[in-house]
Amino acid sequence: MKIKDIIKDQYGILYSSELLLSIILLIFIIGVIANLSDGLNERMISEEEFSSLETIAIESSDYLLNNPGNPENWEDDEGLKNGIVSKNIIPGLAIKNKNVENGEFFDESASDEMIMSNAISYNKLIKIKNNYDSLVDSNLLNDSVISSMAIYPLNSEIKPIEMGYDFEDKNDNVNDNNIVTVNRTVKCDFYSNFVVYNFNDFELFGDDYNKDMFCNHDTNPYLTNHSNDGRSLWLCKNFRVYKESLDEYNYYLISDESVKDTGTYWILESLNRTSENKEIINQEVIDLNPFLMEDLGNSSDEIYSIHFNVPKNRVGDFKTVLVAIPKNMTDVLISNDELNYDYFKVQDVNFILKIGYK
């Protein structure tokens, strides 16, 4: 028989369609097997391994959030700046709080320190980010697992910080079942420890607000009185600046964006150089060093006073702090776009620790 005849033949046609069906089935079966063996190549962890992973994740999170780390002030270790990480450093994120009163500013605190509960240090977090593999994977987790850490601020004005292993990487076959995630809501200090004065009296006292601090404008007959009238409120504070501090710190007045359209006026003066010059606040960041410098050329310290005049119906939008930022950090804050009011408040963040087996 010739080929032509076979195709024409009734049975022949049947045979060739059966053949086609078989080929399709075969391809399908090969596909299923290939898929199955792919799955078998991924390491499936046992129940015991998973529960030990859970233990590591929970204990590591507890340690990081409740301990300031070892040795004390590990975050100031000089080596960390150059990526040299001592084996002895076990990082912790907890804050040893300094109980600083409003208006007092200490570089180092001499007063009693206590660990703040559920509050983490932004400075320590950044130090961990810059040396993650050594500090976390090696020193804390003994290279037994892969891990990542992140904070997601609830305030959308503040950027999340992520570090460590990239579990989202699709080219990497880490099975989701081999990962444990711990999520805790905690407070993060960000740059709040640089605040010299938090002008939050309106917020604290509400309708009961009374100007509490001595204001030289009320006692000096040559100066305009700063007593509150029906339409606006005065907030007046005194603070001392040392010449040495001015060499080490940049002083800024930092306001929330909302302050710009409130019609708030301010006066900055030294007690020897009083001023009636009310200026409207229309900038979020005001550099104070040039002004402070004028009085500290010949004296070791000076008392300044700052006065705000806020329309009564806009006191809720008056959000302003006086900050002193170490000079060697100022450029970093500016380039990271962190010289913003929100970064000088303690903020709620979601702390996420992920731990997995590869």
Binding site for Zn ion (CB under 5 A): 215, 217, 226, 236, 307
Nearer to Zn ion, 308 or 351 (CB): 308
Cβ of residue 355: shortest distance to Zn ion, in angstroms?
Answer: 55
Cβ of residue 267: shortest distance to Zn ion, in angstroms?
Answer: 7
Q: Give the DSSP letter of residue 271.
A: T
Cβ of residue 316: shortest distance to Zn ion, in angstroms?
Answer: 21
Cβ of residue 237: shortest distance to Zn ion, in angstroms?
Answer: 9
Number of neighbouring beta carbons within 10 Å of residue 4: 8
Cβ of residue 225: shortest distance to Zn ion, in angstroms?
Answer: 9
Nearer to Zn ion, 307 or 345 (CB): 307
Residue nearest to Zn ion (CB): 236
* Residue among 348, 340, 12, 353 at smallest CA distance from 153: 348
Cβ of residue 217: shortest distance to Zn ion, in angstroms?
Answer: 4
- For residues 277-291, one letter each, b for 16 or more C-beta atoms within 10 angstroms of the residue's C-beta and e for the rest, the string is eeeebeebebebbee
Q: State the Cα angle at 147 between 85 and 61, rounded to 5°.
A: 85
307 contacts 80 by C-beta, under 8 angstroms: no
Nearer to Zn ion, 236 or 281 (CB): 236
Nearer to Zn ion, 105 or 304 (CB): 304
69 contacts 95 by C-beta, under 8 angstroms: no
326 contacts 119 by C-beta, under 8 angstroms: no
| Three-state DSSP state, 104 | coil
Nearer to Zn ion, 215 or 339 (CB): 215
Nearer to Zn ion, 233 or 286 (CB): 233
Amino acid sitting at position 119:
A
Number of neighbouring beta carbons within 10 Å of residue 268: 18
Nearer to Zn ion, 215 or 325 (CB): 215
Cβ of residue 102: shortest distance to Zn ion, in angstroms?
Answer: 17
Cβ of residue 275: shortest distance to Zn ion, in angstroms?
Answer: 11
Nearer to Zn ion, 237 or 345 (CB): 237
Nearer to Zn ion, 129 or 211 (CB): 211
Q: Give the DSSP letter of residue 136.
A: I
Cβ of residue 71: shortest distance to Zn ion, in angstroms?
Answer: 47
217 contacts 226 by C-beta, under 8 angstroms: yes
User: How many Å apart are CA 100 and CA 34, to the nearest integer?
Assistant: 65
294 contacts 230 by C-beta, under 8 angstroms: no
Whether the bond between 153 and the residue before it is cis, its omega within 30 degrees of 0, is: no
Cβ of residue 211: shortest distance to Zn ion, in angstroms?
Answer: 8
Q: In the beta sheet, which residues pair with residue 161?
A: 151
| Side-chain-side CA neighbours of residue 9 (13 Å) | 10
| Three-state DSSP state, 208 | helix
- The residues, any chain, with a CB within 8 Å of residue 164's CB and separated by 6 or more, are 132, 136, 137, 146, 147, 148, 149, 354
Nearer to Zn ion, 189 or 201 (CB): 201
